[in-house]
Every structure is written in structure tokens, then in C-alpha cells.
Amino acid sequence: MNLYDLLASRFPKDPNAPRRADPKAPCFLMPDGGSFSYMFLEAAAAQVAGKLVALGVQPGDRVALQAEKSVECICVYLGTLKAGAVYVPLNSAYTQAEVDYFLGDAEPKVFVTDPLEWMRDLPDYEALEQGVARSDDDLASLIYTSGTTGRSKGAMLSHGNLAANALALHAAWGFTSDDVLLHALPIFHVHGLFVALHCALLSGAPMVWLPKFADAEVLAGLDRATVMMGVPTFYTRLLANPGFTRARADNIRVFICGSAPLLPSTFAEFEERTGQRILERYGMSEAVIITTNPLDGDRIGGSVGYPLPGVELRIGGGEEAPSVGSADTSPSGGGTGVIQIRGPSVFSGYWRMPEKTAEEFTEGFFITGDVGRRDPDGRVWISGRAKDLIISGGYNVYPKEVELVLDELPGVTESAVIGVPHPDFGEGVVAVVMGEGDEAAMIAQARAQLAAYKAPKRVVFVDELPRNAMGKVQKNLLRQRYEHLFEA
């Protein structure tokens, strides 16, 4: 089934349905008080699809879009699905040179940079009422990975991948047509585009639609919404705002977080302020969402929860893989290794990179590159990225283990631990600390809790850690910045 048809089958339209059944029901609630209805969305998707077909777009052709977040971007996305084409969203921050690379790689038939302008002449085209039939394996979208090492790769996600994940999340997080989703995420990434948007569309529910995270608009939006999704930075920014009170959070039935690790201190502070536990989940461009904490049941800070139904998750070479390190920071033992996954939402490979694809799959499992473990309850704990592993004097150092110790020290807001070239040790452990303190004292405090080879040899204090649009700390930039730190 075409993913668009699945989503549209849930739009409010049946006047006899028991719940909200008004096609004019809002889909997007705008900050200025206006709204766009589901009827508008459906009509726009049919018109966009009609224009694409008229422009010669065939099923499987790519349609790329690079633009600031808007309702029109969503119309282009849904119209592209409906026409059977493959949607390629590009980060609005990409430079011309970066865009040139993506266009050369994806070879889109159509590239939209101003969706409002592009949609102006839609009434001139015949709308495509019937979506182009697609099978589960047909491509729906190419998502370029953030590419912190080497060339950015296009993850090929099919109609079946996206439908399976959307249905699983919709069920796991208990979405209904009575929900209102606060949407302040970017929509060139799986989080805002597939996770958040699909949950709302499958519910035929409205979204408080914000162009970006801005404190005042988010606080006002919380009064109208029932679910919020965000990256960890959204939650730290809310907590830093005295206007974010328990009463403000009361209308929200669940706060969902992911795309980067949520600090246990943020989880705890959030619970103290609001009485609510953030629901953390774990995902990636190559598989959308993989694990989630439970909606009903214990949400544990620091754990990303359980694999979604249908997802098989194993560590290293097998379920009982031997420990490859001592990054074990969860309450009970179990092997730590690289997380591998298999299931209906796992992508089929990287666009035009069959060799790279083959390297990253083993026995049908995708090797995520994330290091983690499962505890005896089956919960998953992530301890970092395999490529962030530091090897110092022949010993493996897992940055997360060191960061957890540093983050507890007075004066530290957040830390990022990296390895940089060291004349004696190969790599030397460096802590980049957001906050203030004394370098020698902090090294001594770390040494009191960690084996000497794990403790940082240098601590650098900064005001802010570099982050990408999804709130992930860009360790590649830190490694570059400090690569000469240990030179004589």
C-alpha cells in the first residue's frame, strides 16, 4: 500500500464516525491563531501529485526539497508519496556545495526550494485523485545521514518501512484523535518528519505547528497540546525557563525525547519540576524508531527502553555477546557491544552504495554503530558510538562512562569526552566541559572514581558544546579543534 493512502485513510472524513468526523478539522494549528484543515492537506497533496505527474515524474523518481519548515513542505512530501516518487528532504542549513553533492547523488527530477511559490500554479494542473500503487519494498524516501564521518549516505526507506514504524509508534504511545501534538522539530530529519508527523496524521489529530523551538511559543503551545516530542535540548531549554511550571506541563499526557542522549540529570530535574517522567526513545535515519520506554510502566532515566514490537535487537555477534568493554553503567550486568537490529522498519541499504551497505549488515541485521547492552529485564542502555571509542595506551575507554562521572561534578553542566592524538598513548582522553572549574582538581576528582587510564589527561572548559540541528554534540568538530592539544 502507498504510505500516503494509509495516512489519508485516518484523516477525519467519515461523518458517521463516533469521534471527530469533520474533514474541516484542523491539521495544523498556527501560532498566529490560524489553521490548515485536513481537507486542505488532502486536496493539496492531490494537486502536488498531479503537478509532479504533469512534470514527467515517474514512480521511483526523486523529488528533493530544501526549504525552511512550513505546511507547504508537508504538502510537497505527501504529494510526492502519492505520486509514487521518492522524497529527499535536505537540511535547510546545507551550503550550496553540500546541496550540489546531494543533487548529484540523488539525481532528483524535481528540486523544490520555495514550496509556497512552487505551489502557486497548482490549480492549473489536474489533481491526482488516486495515489500511485506502491508495494512495501518500493522506496518512499531517501534520508541523508548527518555524515559526521566521511561522505553522507542516503538511507533508503520504503513505504513498508515507514508504515510499519508509524503504526508501531502510534500504538506504543497511545495516540488517538483527541491528541494534539506540539511540533517544533525540523522536518528534514526522521524525527520531525516521520516520527512526529506520522503519529499525528495516523490519528487524524491536530498539531500545534511551530517553525522552530522558541521559548514563548512552546510555552503557549503546551496549553493547547497533549503530547510533546523533542530533542534533549528542548527539555533543557524548557527547564532553564522559570515560566515552565508544573501547571504549564499539566495538559501534556506524555513528553517524548530522542535523537541524542537525554542526560539523567535532565530526566530527574524534569520529574522534580513537573511530576512527569520524560519518555525516552532511540532511533536513527536507517530504521526510524528502534526502542522506546513504555507509555504505561516504568520509564527509567538513562535507558532507552525496549525494542518496538517486531524489532529484533542483539548485541555484538549474538544475544549473549561477550563484553567488549566496561561501559556498563546500568544497574546490572550483561554484555556490552555494538547494537544490531532487524525488523520491518530497518532500511534496505544506502543509495547507490552496495559495498557500504554490505559492510554494515550481518546475517540480515543492520550494525547500528551504537554501543550498548540489555539488562535482564530486556531494557536497552546505550553507552556511546563505536566510532567514538577511545583507545589510550592500548586500553578501551568508552566516553560515556567518563562523561557520566564528570557530569555529576559541581560546576559541570555537560561534558563531552573525546580522544585526540597523543605522543605516548596513541590517543589521549580529553574532557570538554560545559561549565566551570579547575582543571587539575577535576582530573583528580575523576581519578578518584575511574581507573587512571580512563580519567581525562586534559580538561577544557567551554561555554557551549557544538551541536547539530538535532541537538547531537558534534564530537568530530571537537576532535578537530583539539587535535594538537598533546603536541609538545
Nearer to ligand AMP, 52 or 313 (CB): 313
User: Among candidates 9, 126, 122, 145, which has minimal Cα distance to 76?
Assistant: 122
Cβ at position 181, least distance to ligand AMP in Å: 19
Q: What are phi and psi of 356, to 5 degrees?
A: -60, -40
Cβ at position 242, least distance to ligand AMP in Å: 27
DSSP state of 398: -
**Residue 246 is inside which H or E element, if any?**
helix 246-249
Cβ at position 35, least distance to ligand AMP in Å: 30
Cβ at position 280, least distance to ligand AMP in Å: 5
Query: Pattern of binders to ligand AMP over 66-105, x per CB under 6 A?
Result: ----------------------------------------
- Chain position carrying cell 513505504: 159
Q: Measure CA 468 to chain center.
A: 12
Cβ at position 459, least distance to ligand AMP in Å: 23
The widest CA-to-CA distance across the chain, in whole angstroms, is: 77
Nearer to ligand AMP, 65 or 470 (CB): 470
Give the separation between CA 387 and CA 209, rounded to whole angstroms.
Answer: 36
Give the separation between CA 381 and CA 443, rounded to whole angstroms.
Answer: 26
Number of neighbours of residue 348 by Cβ within 10 angstroms: 17
Q: What angle do CA 195, 197, 200 make, to 5 degrees?
A: 105
Cβ at position 407, least distance to ligand AMP in Å: 14
Give the separation between CA 77 and CA 141, rounded to whole angstroms.
Answer: 9
Cβ at position 258, least distance to ligand AMP in Å: 4
**Residues 233-262 interacting with ligand AMP (rule: CB under 6 A):** 258-261
Query: Pattern of binders to ligand AMP over 412-451, x per CB under 6 A?
Result: ----------------------------------------
Nearer to ligand AMP, 301 or 421 (CB): 301
Nearer to ligand AMP, 2 or 91 (CB): 91
Nearer to ligand AMP, 2 or 285 (CB): 285
Characterize the bridge pairing of strands 349-350 and 337-342. unpaired
**Residues 146-175 interacting with ligand AMP (rule: CB under 6 A):** 146
Cβ at position 190, least distance to ligand AMP in Å: 6
Give the separation between CA 285 and CA 145, rounded to whole angstroms.
Answer: 7
Residues binding ligand AMP: number (CB under 6 A): 18
Give the separation between CA 318 and CA 106, rounded to whole angstroms.
Answer: 35
Show the cell assigned to 174. Answer: 497511545
**Residues 260-299 interacting with ligand AMP (rule: CB under 6 A):** 260-261, 280, 282-285
DSSP state of 325: S
Cβ at position 281, least distance to ligand AMP in Å: 6
Contact partners, residue 347, CB within 8 Å, separation at least 6: 155, 156, 157, 158, 161, 285, 286, 287, 366
Nearer to ligand AMP, 82 or 475 (CB): 475
Nearer to ligand AMP, 178 or 359 (CB): 359
Nearer to ligand AMP, 37 or 291 (CB): 291
Strands, E assignment, 262-409: 279-284, 288-292, 303-307, 312-315, 337-342, 349-350, 361-362, 365-374, 380-385, 390-392, 395-397
**Residues 322-381 interacting with ligand AMP (rule: CB under 6 A):** 368, 370
Nearer to ligand AMP, 44 or 300 (CB): 300
First to last CA, the chain: 62
Nearer to ligand AMP, 80 or 291 (CB): 291
**Residues 120-149 interacting with ligand AMP (rule: CB under 6 A):** 145-146
Does 304 bind ligand AMP (CB under 6 A)? Our answer is yes
Cβ at position 191, least distance to ligand AMP in Å: 7
Q: Which residues bind ligand AMP (CB under 6 A)?
A: 145-146, 190, 258-261, 280, 282-285, 304, 368, 370, 382, 385, 470
